[in-house]
């Protein structure tokens, strides 16, 4: 007997995708292939935000972090249908509040389900139809299940998770480590150094994330360890590219204009350091990335500073 599931498992839905950048378009491609209707809104497009928002029963934001506060206040002014599910695929931190994107959406729409979508998802591979897996996390189990059904296909395996904060922080904080990892490869520090960086990087992510209120085990899943491995090992990652080029001696001002899309880790590092200082959380790797991005130290100085810290138990 053939036990293979058939996709799509749910009746056609209408998705409004806010932010028609690389990731918004890739996610739109996945759901269109599953037979769902997709309407895009972007600030430079010709569709009105009102049209896209009012027509959608699932509203997905793939706007980069710097645009989230402004876009959600425009959506708030328009209003959402009573059954609308909000999905956020942004991986960043808000400089004003240090909140994640989902926290901002949930504050603005307290009575609506908010679902976080995050995982090891390099868009170029997904666009090529290569297999990938992701996580949809929410406090609202039925909203997460519907979004799981909408996105699941033979190329894209979707898991639900009840810890949206942990899932979102895994995807967000690994961008800082991806910059460090690009530096590590750019300086040709070798496989031992890379393994040490990723392992201690995960420890740092867990220290921050659990202090924030996320569950430790979430960080060992796809959106934590999974996304850390993908992003820190792939030249397709824009954050990795930033680190790699810094190691080649380029400045941030020279690197950023030529990147395809947004490297959220640059902004995330700043916000993270602000939060870690206020809450007195030790983040040695993120601190060195911050100093490097600020132009205060060279990549070699950053490595030396990490290696020469006080010795301590693991
Ligand atoms: N590309 C990927 O592989 C990938 C995978 C997973 C998650 N993400 C996350 O998705 C988000 C978007 O990434 P991307 O690769 O699509 O970047 P991108 O730069 O290609 O797209 C960003 C989108 O946000 C919009 N935007 C930015 N500021 C805005 C503002 N003030 N008002 C309205 N719109 C604004 C841009 O117009 C654009 O449509 C990031 O948070 C990224 O970390 C990306
Ligand atoms: O290209 P990056 O560095 O933004 O990484 C993309 C995704 O977050 C990988 O999961």
Query: What residues are in contact with ligand 1 under a 6 Å CB criterion?
Result: 19-24, 42-43, 62-67, 70-71, 89-92, 121-123, 261-262, 264
Query: Taking a C-beta distance cutoff of 8 angstroms, is the pair 126, 28 a contact?
Result: no
- Give the residue, by CA position, lying nearest to ligand 2 atom 6: 122
**Same domain, yes or no: 19 and 157:** yes
Counting ligands in written order, which one lies closest to the CA of residue 223? 2
Residue 205 phi, psi (nearest 5): -60, -45
The rounded Å distance from CA 158 to ligand 2 centre is 17
Q: What share of the chain is helix, strand, coil (3-state, %, to 5)?
A: 55, 10, 35
For residue 7, is it within any domain? no
Tell me, what's the pLDDT at 117?
99
Q: Is the pLDDT at 109 greater than 90, yes or no?
A: yes
Buried b (16+ CB within 10 A) or exposed e, 146-179: bbbbbbbbebbebbbbebbbbbbbbbbbbbbbbb
Atom in ligand 1 nearest the alpha carbon of residue 124: 3
- Kindly report the number of other CB atoms within 10 A of residue 190's CB atom: 11
Who contacts 193 (Cβ-Cβ below 8 Å, separation ≥6)? 184, 303
Q: Is the pLDDT at 114 greater than 80, yes or no?
A: yes
Q: Last residue of a domain, which of 162, 193, 226?
A: 162
User: To the nearest whole number, what is the mean pLDDT of the chain?
Assistant: 96
**Same domain, yes or no: 18 and 95:** yes
For residue 287, is it within any domain? yes
**Same domain, yes or no: 69 and 206:** no
Q: Which residues are annotated as a binding site?
A: 23, 43, 91, 119, 123, 174, 227, 237-239, 264
**Same domain, yes or no: 50 and 62:** yes
Mean pLDDT of 217-239: 98
Domain of residue 238, CATH code: 1.10.1040.10
Best mutation site among 239, 255, 267 for ligand 2, i.e. most ligand atoms within 8 A of its Cβ?
Answer: 239
Counting ligands in written order, which one lies closest to the CA of residue 41? 1
**Same domain, yes or no: 174 and 96:** no
Counting ligands in written order, which one lies closest to the CA of residue 174? 2
**Same domain, yes or no: 240 and 271:** yes
pLDDT digits (tens, 9 = 90+) for 120-142: 999 999 999 999 999 999 999 99
**Same domain, yes or no: 252 and 174:** yes
The rounded Å distance from CA 148 to ligand 1 centre is 21
**10 — pLDDT class (breaks 50, 70, 90):** confident
Q: Is the pLDDT at 3 greater than 80, yes or no?
A: no
Q: What span, in angstroms and rounded, lies between the C-alpha atoms of 241 and 244?
A: 5
Which of 146, 179, 189 shows the shortest CA–CA distance to 269?
Answer: 179
Mean pLDDT of 59-87: 97
Cα–Cα distances (Å) from 303 to 159, 218, 277, 309, in that order, read: 37, 29, 21, 10
How many structural domains are present in the chain?
Answer: 2
Q: Last residue of a domain, which of 143, 162, 181?
A: 162
Q: To the nearest whole percent, how much of the chain has pLDDT over 70? A: 97
Maximum distance among all Cα pairs of the chain, rounded to whole angstroms:
64
pLDDT digits (tens, 9 = 90+) for 164-210: 999 999 999 999 999 999 999 999 999 999 999 999 999 999 999 99
**Which positions are annotated as active-site residues?**
174
**Same domain, yes or no: 158 and 169:** no
- Determine whether the shortest distance from the Cβ of 231 to ligand 2 is under 6 A: yes
Atom in ligand 1 nearest the alpha carbon of residue 236: 3
Q: What span, in angstroms and rounded, lies between the C-alpha atoms of 123 and 27?
A: 9
The rounded Å distance from CA 172 to ligand 2 centre is 9
Q: To the nearest whole percent, how much of the chain has pLDDT over 90? A: 96
Q: Which residues are annotated as a binding site for sn-glycerol 3-phosphate?
A: 91, 119, 174, 227, 237-239
**Same domain, yes or no: 157 and 82:** yes
Atom in ligand 2 nearest the alpha carbon of residue 239: 3
In DSSP notation, 62-116 reads ---HHHHHHHHHHHHHH---TTPEEEE----B-TTT--BHHHHHHHH-TTS-EEE
Q: What span, in angstroms and rounded, lies between the C-alpha atoms of 277 and 210?
A: 16
Q: Last residue of a domain, which of 162, 189, 207?
A: 162
pLDDT digits (tens, 9 = 90+) for 242-278: 999 999 999 999 999 999 999 999 999 999 999 999 9
Of 9-18, 34-43, 212-221, 297-306, the one with minimum mean pLDDT is 9-18
- Give the residue, by CA position, lying nearest to ligand 2 atom 1: 237
For residue 1, is it within any domain? no
Mean pLDDT of 4-18: 82
Domain of residue 80, CATH code: 3.40.50.720
**Same domain, yes or no: 273 and 170:** yes
Tell me, what's the pLDDT at 1?
46
Query: Taking a C-beta distance cutoff of 8 angstroms, is the pair 88, 114 a contact?
Result: yes
- Please tell me whether residue 37 adopts helix, strand or coil conformation: strand
For residue 183, is it within any domain? yes
Residue 148 phi, psi (nearest 5): -60, -45
Tell me, what's the pLDDT at 4?
65
**Same domain, yes or no: 173 and 158:** no
Atom in ligand 2 nearest the alpha carbon of residue 120: 10
**Same domain, yes or no: 192 and 206:** yes
Best mutation site among 63, 134, 238, 255 for ligand 2, i.e. most ligand atoms within 8 A of its Cβ?
Answer: 238
Tell me, what's the pLDDT at 144?
98
For residue 227, is it within any domain? yes
Mean pLDDT of 45-68: 96
Counting ligands in written order, which one lies closest to the CA of residue 236? 2
Residue range(s) defining the domain that contains residue 71: 14-162
């Amino acid at each position: 007997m053939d036990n293979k599931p058939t996709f799509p498992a749910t009746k056609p839905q209408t998705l409004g995708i806010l932010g028609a950048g690389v990731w918004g378009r890739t996610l739109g491609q996945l759901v269109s292939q599953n037979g769902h209707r997709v309407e895009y809104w972007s600030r430079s497009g010709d569709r009105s935000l009102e049209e896209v928002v009012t027509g959608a029963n699932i509203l997905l934001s793939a706007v980069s972090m710097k645009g989230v506060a402004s876009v959600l206040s425009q959506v708030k002014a328009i209003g959402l249908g009573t059954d609308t599910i909000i999905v956020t695929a942004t991986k960043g931190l808000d400089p004003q509040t240090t909140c994640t994107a989902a926290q901002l959406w949930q504050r603005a729409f307290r009575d609506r389900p908010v679902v976080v979508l995050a995982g090891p998802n390099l868009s170029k591979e997904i666009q090529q139809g290569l297999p990938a897996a992701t996580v949809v996390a929410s406090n609202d189990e039925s909203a997460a299940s519907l979004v799981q059904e909408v996105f699941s296909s033979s190329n894209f395996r979707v898991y639900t998770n009840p810890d949206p904060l942990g899932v979102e922080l895994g995807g967000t904080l690994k961008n800082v480590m991806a910059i460090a990892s690009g530096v590590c490869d750019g300086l040709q520090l070798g496989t031992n150094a890379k393994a040490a960086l990723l392992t201690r990087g995960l420890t740092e992510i867990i220290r921050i994330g659990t202090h924030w209120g996320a569950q430790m085990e979430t960080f060992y899943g796809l959106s934590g360890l999974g996304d850390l491995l993908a992003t820190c090992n792939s030249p397709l990652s824009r954050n990795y590219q930033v680190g790699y080029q810094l190691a080649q001696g380029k400045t941030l001002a020279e690197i950023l204009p030529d990147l395809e899309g947004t490297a959220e880790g640059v902004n995330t590092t700043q916000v993270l350091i602000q939060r870690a200082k206020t809450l007195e959380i030790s983040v040695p790797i993120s601190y060195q990335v911050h100093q490097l991005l600020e132009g205060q130290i060279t990549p070699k100085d950053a490595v030396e500073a990490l290696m020469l810290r006080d010795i301590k138990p693991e």
